[in-house]
Amino acid sequence: MDLSDAPSSNSMDASITGLRVKQHRELESLTLTAQPLKTLKYFMLGFGQCLRQFMAKGGWLVLLIMLAGGIGMLTITFGGPQEEHIQELVRYLQFGLWWLALGVASSIGLGSGLHTFVLYLGPHIALFTMKSVQCGRVDIKSAPYDTIQLKSSPSWLDRDCSEFGDPIFLSQHSSRVPLSRILPQVQLEAILWGIGTALGELPPYFISRAARISGEKLEVMKDLDSSSTEDSGIVANRLNRIKLWLLSHTQYLNFLTILVLASVIFFSLL
């Protein structure tokens, strides 16, 4: 190493330190009252850079949604020719968020074992089926969002069948509505509820995936390993072995097997 390089490196470090001190002093003096034009200039440059980074990460979609929401709120507040369409869109959004939230609540349970299929979706399907059979027609909804929602009941629930018109599906003794005609009337809320349950299962999935990647053994596997060594009866040991096998071979199970094991509601209804 050449000793002549030492003074040059020391002088370079000193110049860098001097530049940092000078920059720090300029930042302290850069205020809106002392240098308003320069402060606004740097603010606009920094804001533009942050906006470009935000838009590059998909922020344009968020801005578009916020813009549409703002226009909708202004239209509803001050009125206008599009007010009726905006209100219709709001009803659809409320309908979708309601059934999605019920699906998420059914998955997470909030520590109470809450199952919103039994409390909301199941009764809604049953009430609609009974009303359709009673009236002999399925076009009793005023709109797709005419369902059970928060603090409101569907409009068709308390209406008389004569208000919907003559029955369409008739048999010799009573009305008989095909199942294939009832399903399209309730499938939208059922699909939204199912999507909500899938969204509610994502947090434990990511937690389990992170634990698997880190190499940690799940507490469930540890408990099953310890309980399998204990003498707790033939039936209990057999069940523990089945659970242990399912947990250890979950990644090898195909889609249909997982679907059958997840269909708790279907088998309980059978």
Which pLDDT tens digit goes with each residue over 102-128?
988 888 765 555 678 888 888 999 999
The highest-confidence range among 142-146, 175-179, 209-213, by mean pLDDT, is: 142-146
The highest-confidence range among 53-57, 74-78, 194-198, by mean pLDDT, is: 194-198
Task: Output helix, strand, coil percentages for the chain, rounded to the nearest 5.
Answer: 75, 0, 25
Q: Please, what is the end-to-end C-alpha distance for the chain in angstroms?
A: 85
Q: Residue 13, SS3?
A: helix
pLDDT tens readout for residues 67-94: 776 766 666 666 666 667 777 888 888 8
**Number of neighbouring beta carbons within 10 Å of residue 141:** 17
Residue 93 half-sphere exposure, CB side, CA atoms within 13 Å? 10
Residue 47 has pLDDT above 60, yes or no: yes
Cβ contact 244:224 at 8 Å = yes
Cβ contact 98:149 at 8 Å = yes
- For 11-22, what is the mean pLDDT? 78
The highest-confidence range among 27-36, 45-54, 122-131, by mean pLDDT, is: 122-131
- Tokens for 144? 């797709």
pLDDT band at 188 (very low <50, low <70, confident <90, very high): very high
pLDDT for residue 226: 58
CA–CA separation, 18 and 32 (whole Å) = 25
- Tokens for 33? 């009252």
Q: Which residue in 56, 150, 143 sits closest to 100, CA to CA?
A: 150
Provide the b/e sequence for 36-54 (b: ≥16 CB within 10 Å). Answer: eeeeeeeeeeeeeeeeeee
pLDDT for residue 58: 67
Residue 1 has pLDDT above 50, yes or no: no
Residue 182 has pLDDT above 80, yes or no: yes
Q: Range with the lowest mean pLDDT among 28-32, 121-125, 225-229, 242-246?
A: 225-229
Gyration radius (Cα) of the chain, Å? 32
pTM: 0.59
* The Cα angle at residue 73 between residues 69 and 74, in degrees rounded to 5: 120
Q: Residue 152, SS3?
A: strand
Q: Range with the lowest mean pLDDT among 59-63, 158-162, 226-230?
A: 226-230
CA–CA separation, 269 and 230 (whole Å) = 35
